[in-house]
Amino acid sequence: MSVRKLKPITPGQRFRVVNGFDTITTDKPEKSLLAPKKRTGGRNNQGRMTTRNIGGGHKQKYRIIDFKRDKDDIPATVKTIEYDPNRTAFIALVSYTDGEKRYVIAQNGLKVGQIIISGSGVAPEIGNAMPLSEIPLGTTISCIELRPGQGAVMARSAGSFAQLMAREGKYATVKLPSGETRLILLTCKATIGVVSNSDHQLLVSGKAGRSRWLGRRPRTRAVVMNPVDHPMGGGEGKSSGGHPRSRNGIPAKGFKTRSKTKASNKYIIERRKK
């Protein structure tokens, strides 16, 4: 993993920091694992804008990722490490011994030619997926399921990881990237290792146009709006804007919005840090 700071030959490149892409091995994706990706521009099926600040951007194809890792006990060889425009992490193209190819989220240290495997009774090595019941305590894990067979839903973005803290009964105690400590069923799968592209947090876009290429439109600050548009709008000159709150009037900065009767509250041992 490395980053490059560009020479300031244009104003947009003066502060720009780009990924070195030294772990990427090809720029040609596997055609059989591509799917079309339609842009919404933030509009719903009636054509009405339901999400602001979305629109434009470069055309992208979706890469079909295997989050379930349900092809158990069949070894797979890592063919390539690739860039994916739909996520911050890199992805790996793996080829199973029966000829099937799949994309998986790449972990830090995953190399071309490496053999990975998923299932019960496999070694706890980088890239292998296995149930939480068989992973050694204290291991760094990622791509974690919340329900058995659901597929990975947690710790999937660049550089993220969780830690397996303890096991008791039919639950494992896992410390998540947010700082939350939570119980997860032992039959849920997780992948060994830290998600790749951990230098993603060091990147600097350099100019507003790069956000437009990614499909992000400008976001208007609440305090510069009129009172009809936002609770924090209005006032003469530079008004403070009142208490920070959302467009719907829900307070921010410390106001708890989580339901006290939510079913999953009993699985959360320690809430995430503020």
Greatest pairwise CA separation for the chain in angstroms:
70
pLDDT for position 2: 87
Cα–Cα distances (Å) from 263 to 114, 145, 236, in that order, read 41, 18, 46
In angstroms, the CA 103 to CA 94 distance is: 6
The per-residue pLDDT for 243 is: 85
Percent of the chain exceeding pLDDT 70 equals 99
In degrees, to the nearest 5, what angle opens at C-alpha 232 toward C-alphas 227 and 234? 40
Other C-beta atoms closer than 10 Å to the C-beta of 200 total 19
Each residue's pLDDT tens digit, 166-214:
999 999 999 999 999 999 999 999 999 999 999 999 999 999 999 999 9
Query: What is the pLDDT, as a whole number, of residue 197?
Result: 95
Per-residue pLDDT, 25: 96
Q: Which residues pair with 183 in a beta bridge?
A: 173
pLDDT, one tens digit per residue, over 78-93 is 999 999 999 999 999 9
- On the question of pLDDT at 164 being above 70, the answer is yes
Please say if the pLDDT value at position 1 is more than 70. Answer: no
Structure tokens at 151: 């597929």
Q: Is residue 122 very low, low, confident or very high in pLDDT (cuts 50, 70, 90)?
A: very high
The whole-chain average pLDDT of the chain stands at 95
Q: Which amino acid type is present at position 129?
A: A
Tokens of 171: 């639950």
Which band of pLDDT confidence, cut at 50, 70 and 90, is reported for residue 239?
confident
Where in the chain does DSSP place strands (E)?
Answer: 3-5, 17-19, 34-36, 61-63, 76-82, 91-96, 101-105, 115-116, 129-131, 140-142, 162-168, 171-175, 181-185, 189-192, 268-270
Q: What pTM was computed for the model? A: 0.93
Predicted pLDDT at 240: 74
| Domains of the chain (ranges, CATH numbers) | 3-201 (2.40.50.140), 226-266 (4.10.950.10)
Confidence of residue 151 (pLDDT cuts 50, 70, 90): very high
Query: What pLDDT, on a 0 to 100 scale, did the predictor assign at position 273?
Result: 79
